[in-house]
Structure 1
Amino acid sequence: MRKAKFALLPLSVFVAMNVHAEKTEQLDVINVVTENTGAKSKTNVVTLADLNKSTNQDLRGVLSKEPAVNFGGGNGGTSQWVTIRGMGQDQIDIKVDNTSSDAQLFHHQSRFMLDPSLIKRIDIRKGAGSASAGIGATSGSIEATTVEAKDLLREGQDFGFKLNAGVSSNKGHSQGATIYGKAGVLDALFSGNWQTIENYKGGKGYVNKEGSQTVKNSAIGERGLLAKIGVDLNEEHRIVLSHRQERYHGSRALREEFDFSQSYLYGTASDLRPGQTLSTIFTGKNNRGQNTYYILDSNGQFIVNDANNSPRYRITTQNTTNLEWTGKKMGFISEAKANAYLMEMSRKEIDSHSELKIVTKGANVNLDSEIGESHWVKYGVNYRHQEGKPNALASNIKANQKKEDVGLYLEGIWGFGPVTLTTGARYDHFKFKANTGKEVSRGDFNPSAGLIWQVTNNLSFNTNLNYASRSPRFYEVMLAGSRVRDVADNLRAEKARNTEIGFNYDVNENLSFNGSYFWQKVKDAHAVKNNTIVNSALLRNQGYELGAAYKLGAFKFRLGVAESKPETTALNGATLDNTVLAVAMGRTWTTALSYKFEQPSLEIGWKGRFVEGKTGSPSRGSNTGEAAIKQAGYGVSDFYASWDVNKNLTLNFALNNAFNKYYKSHSQRAGINSLPGAGRDFRLTANYTF
């Protein structure tokens, strides 16, 4: 009877997205965490050993256990739009080794470039962050820390190397190599990872207007490089210099999140070319309010819309150089971390000899002081300067866009027996220069507070109230050299408020539950009116995440659910691109089932992701239509096996989208031209470490 009740419990109450954190003996840990009341509660733990046992080659695979984090379709980071709790890519940030940029090259291209092949840790922050969360932490962030030589060297080892290779049936291959070692106070790591991804096939039933099952212009080459040199000045002080590069190259569509080969060409009489005519089939209105119709060729046939997406060879590169210092036991300062960095993102088109750039310079100083045995104070400063550099400036454009952000924070974590109280205050100031040459600046004060009550050793409750602000983003660099985008005289930062309550309950050593409910509001959100950035939008969001995990010997089971209801409202006649601010998506369930054999050392498992249908995401193609449409629900199952042949060699097998489901992620623009998810994919990888 008890077994029957347990089987029904996940479906009827609140089961699970989050694996209860297990202890690991290695330093090479990727912790996917969520911020609660200034403290960090782990939702699941992944190690580098776990990555060695998987076939994941992108961030979507690494974070697949998180139902509140969603990725759009397509290959390569530049086409995959990511959302956290339904908040779009213009509301969240990605940070690697405490380096970041919030500017974008082009609004049809994702801002996220990250090769996860050598990540040590990932933190997922959801909603507005506490005072110490950094610049612009209004709706969440993905924060990664790259691995160092010390994390890979085994006990007694001074030199090592790692080789990896993989093949995918849908469709491509990868290879990589890493060498690392130490000599005295010096340690170093050099790593390279390469992927060649061909045009992939959608699931069963996907056919574009040319009659092909292949998603056009989805092929891409990827390269990730990392060099990291560390020096231990003494036991308490360490300096690390690193350089990281991610590069994506291939014949890509201009609007990388669209597959226009799924539709026919449409337009007005002014769009016709010699021999073409307009049909009588009405297709809507363009961004000038004109009626549009399908266009026919000289034979009276419909024309596939693919050319409208201007496919051509493009190279997108991000280079980041970072100098970091860490220190401990410096009198009143218990721990310190500081870094200074230079980041450059560029997009080149070889045929047209054009290049766009975003140059970011930044620095952070983060200090911690322990007060007594139960209290902790965190304080510091964050600085970031960004400049957008178009290929050329038209005569009516006066300057490159520039932005400077400075933030100061003070946060206390106070322990009073079973209660932990967090209090914080943050001051952020921005100075923004538009391409008209006009400048605006403003400062904002943001408080935060949180509480954790450890009722028993197995049960705790938590709550937090965080305020955060985000300065205006650049107008996309691709268009900023030819189109005027001014700023309002009284332009303010966006102001976010996030309230959250939650619990963690370990029923026993085998079964655990956790959950949270949140309310979020972003006022003074930035919109465009008369080619001017103004405060003229309001964002609201609320939802929940619930989870549980069960473990018995070598058997593990997990099931999770997350739902959010983001809403975006344009005010005073402003224009919004909703899908980069907030995306309505269906309730998402994630599941995992695995069993680990001792002899041979073999783990087999199943992972599932199930998204319910949803109405609300705007269907926006190359025009400004924003009609809400119904997005179909879907379910995708992945099976995997990992075999530790010996202590050095691991072989991994995966069958992703095993039932060849044709689906489209909700974490992208809706509509006929949105990218489908990949169909059935067999993967095999090998990892050899010495």
Structure 2
Amino acid sequence: MTPGVDVINGPRRNGQTVTIRGFDAEAIITLMDGRRQNYESAHDGRFYFDPALMKQVEVVKGAASSIYGGGGIGGVVAFETKDASDLLRPGQNFGAMGGFRGRSANGEISSSASVYGRTENLDILGSLALRKSGDIRDGDGEDLETDDQVVSGLFKLGYTLNDWHTFKLQYQGLNNDGQEPNNGAGGISSSNPIVNKVVDDHQFSARYEFSNPDNDLLNLKIHAYYNDTETEEEDISGANLGRVQVRELNTTGLTVDNQSVFALSDDHSHTLSYGFEIYRDVQEGSSTATGDGTRPGVPDAEALNWGLYIQDEIELASNVGTFLVIPAVRFDQYRSEDNVGNSQNESAISPKLALSYKPTDDLVFFGSLAQAFRAPNMTELYPSGQHFPGGGPIPNNNFVPNPDLKPETVTTLELGVGIKFEGLAANNDQLKFKGAWHYSRGEDFITQEVDIFGGTTENLNIDKAILWGAELEGEYQINKFTAKAGLAYVEAKDDDTGEYLSNNVPLTLTTDFSYEFESISSTIGWRSRFATENDHVGSGEDSTAGYGVHDIYYRYAPTEGDFKHLTVDLGIENVFDKYYTKRFATLPEEGINFGARVTLKW
């Protein structure tokens, strides 16, 4: 329901990525409990987790890299999992939770079990989830070949010493054993055969936090983590039957953050945030079909990134309203190299200035001017080997490394307003509205150029790009009825040629109407998504038809009585079995789906 945010690249789990204002994958910083998710593949998703214990998802739109780190020219998606304290009721020290889910569109059956507890100083949680699903049925009744068996686990341990010192350990892991095309976002073909794909993802982290409400100068967080993600693909069809290809990426990271609060008066305060980040990525690719064992397009390489940031939130209260001024700046240094001697070493400064003015509690004007950059990743810089075989007059196509590829830089101006009304049609109703316009100027956008008759594939820079768009969102509540709506649009062009870029987002409207039946502890709702035709496409690309898709959902969640530990969710997605494809996607989305989820706590 968040305008400007979507999940794209088709319905297969392994191929899906999040997009923000038309930016996708590498242009977005993706965090899982603060750990960078840097797995980079043109064919696969960027993160692997089971949603059963997801607490919240924070989305930051636009160039907000000052605190979150370099690379976020499109924004940030931060996933956060639950702790034991989020699941335990007041006064409860130990609990357990079990869940079961079924979906008709892909024949999915899943189950999860969690145990959790706390003492005065200890917080512990363990969870295991199993999922099995098959082919995905689209709106035309055709099946997209997919077979997934997923096992995932989460373990969290927290210990608080002397009230203010907290130590946390976490492990999160996933194994996905399935059969689908090599490129999960594409259709089956001779160049995209069915493979047995095994994804192994293991993530470890250790944290230290100091938080004393009586200490305004020290609110310290130190976080060290290690991620190991590997995808192994064995061809079980096609000309390369028996070929095994592997891509592995290890990320080791450390972040140190602190906040200091300076209350100069009742009307004037500063919240100073500052910190340091360093992380190292090591990538290896292998294939049984090449003479030297390397995998085409997956270079053996490593990259080291580090950065410093400082941000000041200046709050000023006056008799004409409240002002919030947020200046920030970040410095990043990055270097990378592959195993044949190609290398890159660059640095960048990312400034930001945000302003907001609240003349009343019900009205706010806001704006920001920010610059962010994205360093080219190892796969973009150093690919080599064959991209795809030729035939007839078309030669074999080979990757060409480009170690001189420049970082993408985006400068974004955003202006907006938020307003709240109460007592419009009744004493207890409320209307909230927010609108924003954004304009971005990009330099050295990275794009892939495939020369069919020249036999080369190379990543190049587009000198200048212009992106602009707007977002509107509103919410109206009266009694137990809630209506939400969001509208988003993005237009992106190469500033030199005038050609449209793949960052375009057609005019998209989302709506959500719900009503809570308090007497029977139930909520029922209707969600819809409408998109106009995506005809702003570059040369050689096809337009995508507009569509309208509807979902119905129901939740039963009593808070007292014999069933107070039970939650039942029922839904029908794509109610009218619409056949549709999202912008710039190859595959149609899922057809009608009947879903049910039952959760029980003890």
TM-score (norm 2): 0.86
Q: For residue 125 of structure 1, what is the aligned residue in structure 2?
A: 60
Q: Return 389-398 or 152-161, whichever deviates more.
A: 389-398
Counterpart residue number, 1:494: 408
What is the rounded CA distance, in whole Å, between the counterparts of 1:396 and 1:681 in structure 2? 43
Instruction: From the superposition, tell whether residues 94 and 346 of structure 1 become closer, same or farther in structure 2 (CA, over 3 Å).
Output: same
Relative distance call for 1:143 and 1:460 in structure 2 (3 A) is same
Q: 1:113 to 1:616 in 2, by over 3 A?
A: farther
Contact in 2 for aligned 1:654/1:683 (Cα 8 Å): yes
CA change 1:477–1:389 in 2 (3 A) is: farther
Q: 2:381, 2:402 within 8 Å by CA — same for their partners in 1?
A: no
Aligned residue number for residue 630 of structure 1: 543
Alignment of 1:503-542 (within 5 A): 503-508=417-422, 510-527=430-447, 535-542=461-468
Any conservation in 1 of the 2:3–2:473 contact (CA below 8 Å)?
no
Match of 1:355 in 2: 246
C-alpha displacement of 1:115: 2.4
1:248 is the counterpart of 2:176? yes
Once the two structures are TM-superposed, the CA of residue 333 in structure 1 deviates from its matched residue by 3.0
Aligned: 1:554 with 2:480 = yes
What is residue 564 of structure 1 aligned with on the other side?
490
C-alpha contact (below 8 Å) 1:496/1:521 kept by paired residues: yes
Tell me, yes or no, if structure 1 residue 585 matches structure 2 residue 485: no
Correspondence 1:450 to 2:363? no
For residue 348 of structure 1, what is the amino acid of its counterpart?
A: E
Letter in 2 for 1:361: T
What does 1:221-300 align with in structure 2 at a 5 Å threshold? 221-260=149-188
Say yes or no: does 1:159 pair with 2:74.
Answer: no
In 1, the alpha carbon distance for the partners of 2:179 and 2:489 equals 36
Offset, 1:476: 6.6
Mapped partners of 2:435, 2:275: distance in 1: 31
Quote the residue 2:194 is aligned against. 311
User: Following TM superposition, by how much is the alpha carbon of 1:461 offset from its aligned partner in structure 2, in angstroms?
Assistant: 0.3
Give the letter aligned to residue 689 of structure 1.
K
The letter of the residue matching 1:475 is T
Q: Does residue 215 of structure 1 match 2:143?
A: yes
Deviation per CA, 1:11-63, whole angstroms, max 9, x where unpaired? xxxxxxxxxxxxxxxxxxxxxxxxxxxxxxxxxxxxxxxxxxxxxxxxxxxxx
- Residue 303 of structure 2: aligned partner: 403
Could you tell me which amino acid in structure 1 is paired with residue 411 of structure 2?
R
Q: Work out the CA distance in 1 between the residues paired with 2:323 and 2:183.
A: 51
Structure-2 change in CA distance of 1:539 and 1:128 (3 Å): same
Q: Report the equivalent of 1:610.
A: 530
Q: What amino acid does structure 2 have at the position aligned with 1:647? A: K
Query: What residue in structure 2 maps to residue 661 of structure 1?
Result: 578
CA RMSD of aligned residues (A): 2.6
Counterpart CA distance in 2 for 1:599 and 1:113 is: 39
3-state SS of 2:110 partner: strand
Q: 1:639: how far off?
A: 0.6
Instruction: Name which of 561, 567, 574 aligns with 1:650.
Output: 567
Secondary structure of the residue aligned to 1:151 is helix
- Give the distance between the partners of 2:17 and 2:33, measured in 1 at CA: 22
Report how far residue 336 of structure 1 moved.
Answer: 1.5
Q: Percent identity?
A: 24
Change (3 A) 1:460 1:314: same
Gapped regions of structure 2 (runs ≥ 5): 235-241, 387-397, 423-428, 450-455
Equivalent position SS for 1:615: coil
| 1:399 positional shift | 7.5
**What CA distance in whole angstroms lies between the structure 1 residues aligned with 2:441 and 2:50?**
32
1:683 maps to what in 2?
A: 595
Among candidates 616, 625, 641, match of residue 554 of structure 2: 641
Match of 2:108 among 169, 172, 178: 172
How far 1:77 sits from its partner (Å)?
3.1
Tell me the equivalent position of 1:34: none
| Aligned-partner residue type, residue 413 of structure 2 | T
Would you say the 8 A contact 1:363–1:384 is kept in 2?
A: yes
Question: What code does the residue aligned with 2:279 have?
Answer: R
- Whether 2:515 is the aligned partner of 1:595: answer yes
**How far apart are 1:314 and its partner, in Å?**
0.7
CA-to-aligned-CA distance 1:397-429 (integer Å, 9 cap, x gap)? 898211111110011010111101000111011
* Higher alpha-carbon deviation: 127-136 or 395-404: 395-404
Is contact 2:408–2:443 with CA below 8 Å preserved after alignment?
A: yes
Write 1 or 2 for the structure with the bigger share of strand.
2
1:368 maps to which of 245, 249, 259: 259
- Between the aligned partners of 1:389 and 1:154, the Cα distance in structure 2 is 46
* Matched-pair contact (CA < 8 Å) for 1:442–1:492: no
Distance 1:257-1:658 versus aligned 2 partners, 3 A rule: same
Show the counterpart of 2:393: none
- Aligned equivalents of 1:129, 1:101: Cα separation in 2: 17
Q: Distance in 1 between matches of 2:273 and 2:373?
A: 19
Aligned residue pairs, count: 552
Counterpart secondary structure, 2:52: helix
Paired AA for residue 21 in structure 2 = R
Contact 2:381–2:401 (8 Å) recurs in 1:
no
Q: Quote how far apart the aligned CAs of 1:583 are.
A: 3.2
Aligned to 1:335, which of 210, 216, 219?
A: 219
Letter in 2 for 1:390: G
Instruction: Give the counterpart letter for 2:132 in structure 1.
Output: T
Offset, 1:442: 1.3
**1:558 CA displacement:** 1.1
The one-letter code sitting in structure 2 at the alignment partner of 1:202 is D
Match of 1:54 in 2: none
Q: 1:485 to 1:160 in 2, by over 3 A?
A: farther
Worse overlay, 382-391 or 77-86: 77-86
Structure 1 residue 659, shift from structure 2 partner: 0.8
Mapped contact 1:440–1:487 kept (Cα < 8 A): no
Q: Is the 8 A contact 1:162 1:178 kept in 2?
A: yes
Q: Which residue of 2 aligns with 1:324?
A: 207
Structure 1: distance between partners of 2:356 and 2:126: 42
Match for residue 28 of structure 2 among 89, 92, 103 = 92
Normalising to structure 1: TM-score of the pair? 0.75
CA contact (8 A) 2:5 2:18 kept: yes
Structure 2 residue identity aligned to 1:341: Y
The Cα of 1:537 is off from its aligned counterpart by 4.3
Is the 2:273–2:311 contact (alpha carbons within 8 Å) kept by the matching residues of 1? Answer: yes
Quick one: which amino acid aligns to residue 84 of structure 1? I
Cα offset, 1:308, TM superposition: 4.0
Query: Contact 1:130–1:424 at 8 Å: present in 2 too?
Result: no
Shift, 1:569, TM fit: 6.7
Matches within 5 A, 1:417-436: 417=317, 418-436=322-340
Distance 1:188 1:480 in 2: 46
CA distance in 2, matches of 1:655, 1:251: 26
1:226–1:476 distance in 2 versus 1, CA, 3 Å: farther
CA 1:252/1:396 → structure 2, altered by over 3 Å: closer, same or farther?
closer
- Tell me whether 1:143 sits opposite 2:63 in the alignment: no
Cα pair 2:179 2:196 within 8 Å, conserved: yes
CA contact (8 A) 2:381 2:403 kept: no
In 2, Cα distance between equivalents of 1:370 and 1:79: 43
Q: Structure 2 counterpart of 1:223, which letter?
A: V
* Alignment counterpart, residue 346 of structure 1, candidates 224, 230, 238: 230
Unaligned ranges ≥5, structure 1: 1-64, 207-212, 261-305, 619-625
* Residues 331 and 185 of structure 1: CA distance in aligned 2, closer, same or farther (over 3 Å): closer
Residues 447 and 583 from structure 1, CA distance in 2 versus in 1: closer, same or farther, beyond 3 angstroms? Answer: closer
Does the Cα contact within 8 Å between 1:559 and 1:591 map onto a contact in 2?
yes
Q: CA deviation at 1:354?
A: 3.9
Task: Work out whether residues 381 and 459 of structure 2, in 8 Å CA contact, stay in contact via their aligned partners in 1.
Answer: no
What code does the residue aligned with 2:143 have? V
